[in-house]
Amino acid sequence: MKNENIQIVKSMFENPLSFLKLDTPQVYENMAVIPIIIQDTKFMEFISIKEAEELELVEILETETVGQLEVINKSDKQILIPFGMTLHGGKQDRTIWEPILLPVGGKKSITSHNPGKAEQKYTIPAKCVEQSRWTYTKGRKFKYSNTRLHPNVAYEAISAAGQGAVWDEIQSHRAEMNYALAVAPTQSYVEMTKESEKQTEKIIKNFKNVTDQCGIAVFINGSFVGIEFYANPEVWKSMSNDILRAFSIEALRFKDKPYDKEISEHHDELIKVLGSLKFEFSTREGVGLGNVVEFNTTNNKWRGITLVHDDTMIQFYLVSKRGGYQGGNRSNIQFQTVINQRYEI
């Protein structure tokens, strides 16, 4: 089974057009986006954590361990917690560093304040994106943040990297964007990126979703920088602005730098780059449904992660690291994470 999951991901690189139906590129200044259209055979029913929270179908709580949060699925739906989302609250803002597909609540019941109500509780892995706070502001609960990790921080958040790598990249981003010291005094990535919201909103309003869109491939300054897609177009639609905003931060980082090259055929360039990448793959059982597959290029320039369930990639994410933190003294704290499901009966 493990080899089968890896082979599904390998096939995406060997024959991208068997997975990706590409629409007309959309271009604004130094950012180009190729909309990805879902194929009927790749569709799967689930909702996003963002929608589940809006409908009060899910609850995320602090635990005593920094690298773990507790999530309760109260719904009769499968819920996707995507890689790269951030949560605001608790004792520190966090990011979720692997995609998680929660089963329908109630397959196992737990003790509840509402007897007879179907719920299911999981421990999920997290990393801190707020270095200088360890106090509650509004209790143990977390709220979905519209902030998604931009490529460099996301690259470091994928599980091969430690906590220190994430903090270092956030600090590098603060320095290169020249944020004042008064901005995000607790080093909250969520608060920090609000400083560039007006600029990112100006960028993302130039990109429009098309019918049955499920993702994007992104070029900055003439170079392919990343791709993200889902097995459900409604989930993509609910989170598309957040994802575009994260990639638009990359456009801001490079807006004053010369183009690597001019591209006349973005489709051809995308297929060429995807086919040229050489990865090392690993896989493990997911927290909820499916199996997580991670992949890294041998030159450590590209990292990716996906969740495979029922032979379908639920969320696929791949980015390159460009510039940013380049090494040195690093407090590379590795958080121990319980990967297996954990229920309270």
The structure tokens listed for 12 are: 């995406």
pLDDT tens digits, one per residue of 137-166: 766 778 888 999 999 999 999 977 788 999
Element (H, E) at 292: strand 291-297
Predicted confidence (pLDDT) at residue 335 exceeds the cutoff of 50: no
pLDDT tens digits, one per residue of 228-255: 999 999 999 999 999 999 999 999 999 9
In this structure, how many other beta carbons lie within 10 angstroms of the beta carbon of residue 95?
Answer: 25
Mean pLDDT of the chain: 87
How many Å apart are CA 236 and CA 224, to the nearest integer?
Answer: 20
Whether the model clears a pTM of 0.85, i.e. scores above it, the answer is yes
The structure tokens listed for 303 are: 């990292």
Average pLDDT on 293-316 reads 95
Cβ(318)–Cβ(303) under 8 Å?
Answer: yes
**Pairing mode, if any, of strands 31-37 and 26-28?**
antiparallel
